[in-house]
Amino acid sequence: MNVFRLTADLFHLLAIFVLLAKIWKSKSCAGLSGKSQVLFALVFSTRYLDLFMVYISAYNTVMKVIFIVATYATVYLIFVKFKLTYNTEHDTFRAEILVIPALGLAFLVNHEMSALEILWTFSIYLESVAILPQLFMMNKTGEAETITSHYLFALGSYRALYIANWIYRYYTENFFDLIMVVAGCVQTVLYCDFFYLYITKVLRGKNLVLPV
């Protein structure tokens, strides 16, 4: 465990709990893409199928459980408890155009032709694009609440820090996983425009308004 991975994991936890706190405090999921959250739930469900089969460390196990439980809790809040506040008319991105190609690519490009490995690879590919419904929704409405912006910034920072983690591990452990690196870079690139707007708008106390 190095400082880059630890910090990345903490940013990931921050993102999830900022989102949960936002929904619970406001009693509303307005402005949030339920489709992105369902995709993230699918990501963690397929990635951590080895939860009760492979033990790496207490830290690893606890983090897996937190990510799964917190993400499904978010899905529950959006689609059940506060479903009347969910903007279905704006959350129109077709999630299947992300899921199907990711699954197909997982069958074609993976480390091993086994069920667990293919599903793990699928989760890596899907995570890289799972935020697209949320970004699409923001572009469609033309704005984002400040707390939603904080969530996205923390989520993007988590992935950017994982790139630093991979660079560090390459030079210290000679570790390199092409699938994770490429998918991680794709995911980080998707946040670039948002990072620019966050730094130039939100951090200066302005509303994040996007061109529709």
Encode the chain (212 residues) as per-residue pLDDT tens digits: 789 999 999 999 999 999 999 999 999 999 899 999 999 999 999 999 988 888 888 999 999 999 999 999 999 999 999 999 999 999 999 999 999 999 999 999 999 999 999 999 999 999 999 999 999 998 887 777 777 888 999 999 998 999 999 999 999 999 999 999 999 999 999 888 888 878 887 767 766 666 54
Closest CA to 130 of 38, 22, 30: 38
The two tokens of residue 126 are 């899907």
Task: For residue 42, give every residue at least 6 positions away whose Cβ sits within 8 Å of its Cβ, in sequence order, or none.
Answer: 99, 123, 126
Give the separation between CA 5 and CA 7, rounded to whole angstroms. Answer: 5
Within 10 angstroms of residue 147's Cβ, the number of other Cβ atoms is: 15
Closest CA to 198 of 137, 142, 153: 153
Give the separation between CA 10 and CA 184, rounded to whole angstroms. Answer: 17
Give the helix ranges, DSSP H, for the chain.
Answer: 3-26, 34-47, 58-76, 96-108, 115-129, 132-141, 146-173, 178-200
Within 13 Å and on the Cβ side, how many CA atoms surround 56? 10
Q: Considering the entire predicted model, what is its pTM?
A: 0.92
